[in-house]
Amino acid sequence: MTKKCEPARRDAREKILGQAIYVDDLQPAEALYGATIRTRLPGGLVEAVHFAKDWDWSEYLIVRASDIPGKNAVKFIEDDQPILVDKQYRHAGEPVLLLAHPDRERLHAALSQIHLDERAGPEPVWDIDAALMTDRPVIPQNTYTDYLLQKGDLAAGDEECDCVIELRAETPAQEQLYIEPQGMIAKVMSDGRMRVEGSMQCPYYVLDALRQCLGWEEKRVQVVQTTTGGAFGGKEDYPSVIACHAALLALKAQGRPVKLVYERGEDLRVTPKRHPSRTLIRLGATRDGELRLIDMDFAIDGGSYRTLSPVVLSRGVIHAAGPYHCPNIRVRGRAVFTNHPPFGAFRGFGAPQSIFAIEIAMDRLAAKLGMDPAVLRRKNLLRPGLTSATSDRQSHDCFAEEVLDIALLRSRYQEKKTAYETWNAGAGNTRRGIGLACFAHGAGFTGNGELYLASRLSLALQPDGTVEILCSNTEMGQGAATTLCQVAAEALGVPLDFIHFPAVDTSRVPNSGPTVASRTCMVVGGLVSAAAQKLRHALEDRGLDLAHFAAEPYVESCAALCAEHGGEWRITETYQAPTGMVWDEKHFQGRAYASFAWACY
């Protein structure tokens, strides 16, 4: 039997050979280069801006908050973050002025010739608990969002426990460290449209932010994704900020493109990181290890503006009890204001922070009970028929126990554990150990989120038989440009070479939602498959046999079908929620995600 070879990734060759073109590789003719003047203090007032009098400022484009034609707010869940500081600000590194110049060296030299007079604000807060206890909150209770997930009766759970452990778990900020810093190029085109291209995950997020900033209609704004050198969540929300900055400079550039690309140090200082967290947890069980109580106070540091913190917190709260069954659960979750730059998306989106706490607690509980941590986990893992923390009854798609078995077998867990105990019994200077952790991760937007998105996707059939996947989901290193093509080819019944994944351009592709939340393969892939099957039926209705593919009759049928539709033919699909998925957003009850990934490591 010949082993089937997996197709090469569509973007692999160019990236391996260093031939991929990233935003900073683009060199538009007559380009101006942009830079940002930022605050230094951790919150306060900008009282004045001083420009060196012996410097020729006529060479430079300068943009202030007063130059913003639309709303001075980055469009997100809440419009609380200014695009440019006018007077008041909340963290060090907030943008106040934008500069542009045709020479990069001359541009950077000018930065030291501008001085901001800043008056310090109230004593800054850096710590979650300090922010919650201060008597001078910046926002009410210094809390952006306060969620409560409850199941069962904690008092009854306490009565049933023979063993209880309590601990405090903290996780720090974490930098995504994508290989390519943030960058955008903006230009006002000859027809009056604003074209912005750059490194991003969510082109329609950027489009909406530009519309609000410029005060323009959607048809006047075009957003194009360039090759994106990694993201990991770090290019979900912040590209909206830098895109608005580049576009504001372009408005003054009289048709010349403006290129704004961060150096690594600036990127590290001001862009979002994973939210730091603090978790207080009580975990209780019977003497034979059956969980009866999970009580968690989970808080994340949102930084100085709300940005994505409410949805990061939501996922963290829902995942906090881990992949375990327990009849009595309470998880309180809060996203807290501090004077750090805003925190944002990072893979896992809040769940790694809360799962870290429950897994550490499970190890502590196992030690107190004198049980093997793997045995304790197996006893309490969700399985079909049991209910999760959100009271969702598990069905045939719950594989937690099977995954644990495979992980223990492949890692030779018990063998290593025995060998390490023998090693550690010696009097040497080193110790060896092995640990494990389990988790379940929900795929797609939480609850009704996918319904609200109403994602759309099109397949464009060309006369030569090629099919283009038109969607706003981006390739950022995760393999989507290859995977979605595989889905389309299999559903349509054609070789992979006939399927293309063009660059994402909002003037051409519908809004199929952001490239986040483990949703691309599941949600967008489902739309690709449905559209491809419709296209297949249309071709088969013309007598084409796609079960036995042959290139010549296939191309002939495609050419005829396209001719009937005046050129290319598009089929568009819109997301439909799975039947039986019910979610109570207010009380965190029901099926939080259409599908879960079960894992052990």
In order, the DSSP letters of 163-216 are: EEEEEEEEE--B----SS--EEEEEE-TTS-EEEEES-S-HHHHHHHHHHHHT-
Edge-to-edge strand ranges of the sheet holding 88-89: 88-89, 44-51, 114-120
CB of 504 within 8 A of CB of 449? no
Phi, psi of 79 (to 5 degrees): -85, 60
Q: Report the topology of domain 128-174+274-439.
A: Aldehyde Oxidoreductase; domain 4 (3.30.365)
**Radius of gyration for the alpha carbons in the chain, expressed in angstroms and rounded:** 27
**What is the spatial distance between Cα 272 and Cα 178, in angstroms, rounded to a whole number?**
12
Task: Please report the pLDDT score of residue 427 as a whole number.
Answer: 78
**What is the spatial distance between Cα 362 and Cα 284, in angstroms, rounded to a whole number?**
10
From 114, 110, 92, select the one nearest 102 (Cα to Cα).
110
**What is the spatial distance between Cα 294 and Cα 273, in angstroms, rounded to a whole number?**
28
**Structure tokens that stand for 600 in this block:** 């052990």
**What is the spatial distance between Cα 36 and Cα 354, in angstroms, rounded to a whole number?**
36
- The CATH number of 449-576 is 3.30.365.10
Task: Please report the pLDDT score of residue 80 as a whole number.
Answer: 95
CB of 446 within 8 A of CB of 477? no
For the chain, what are the domain ranges?
Answer: 23-121+177-270, 128-174+274-439, 449-576
Length of the chain: 601
What b/e readout covers 224-240, taking b as 16+ CB neighbours within 10 angstroms?
bbbbbbebbbbbbbbbb
Task: Please report the pLDDT score of residue 57 as a whole number.
Answer: 96
Task: Please report the pLDDT score of residue 4 as a whole number.
Answer: 64
Task: Please report the pLDDT score of residue 450 as a whole number.
Answer: 87
Element (H, E) at 481: helix 480-492
From 384, 414, 171, 154, select the one nearest 284 (Cα to Cα).
154
Which parts of 541-579 fold into alpha helices (H)?
551-564
From 241, 271, 306, 267, select the one nearest 98 (Cα to Cα).
241
User: Which residues does the chain have with pLDDT short of 70?
Assistant: 1-4
CB of 337 within 8 A of CB of 304? yes
Instruction: Specify the residue for token string 């830098």.
Output: 242
3-state secondary structure at position 93: coil
Cα dist. 108→101, 104, 364, 412, 480 in Å?
A: 9, 6, 53, 56, 37
Task: Please report the pLDDT score of residue 579 as a whole number.
Answer: 80
Strand partners, 183: 261
pTM (2 d.p.) = 0.94
Edge-to-edge strand ranges of the sheet holding 499-500: 499-500, 467-470, 456-461, 569-574
3-state secondary structure at position 288: coil
Tell me if domain 128-174+274-439 and domain 449-576 are identical in fold.
yes
Instruction: Specify the residue for token string 């089929």.
Output: 571
**Structure tokens that stand for 278 in this block:** 């603090």
Helix axes 400-411, 373-380, angle to 10 degrees: 160
Task: Please report the pLDDT score of residue 196 as a whole number.
Answer: 98
Looking at domain 23-121+177-270, its CATH architecture is 2-Layer Sandwich (3.30)
CB of 598 within 8 A of CB of 443? no
From 343, 310, 316, select the one nearest 331 (Cα to Cα).
316
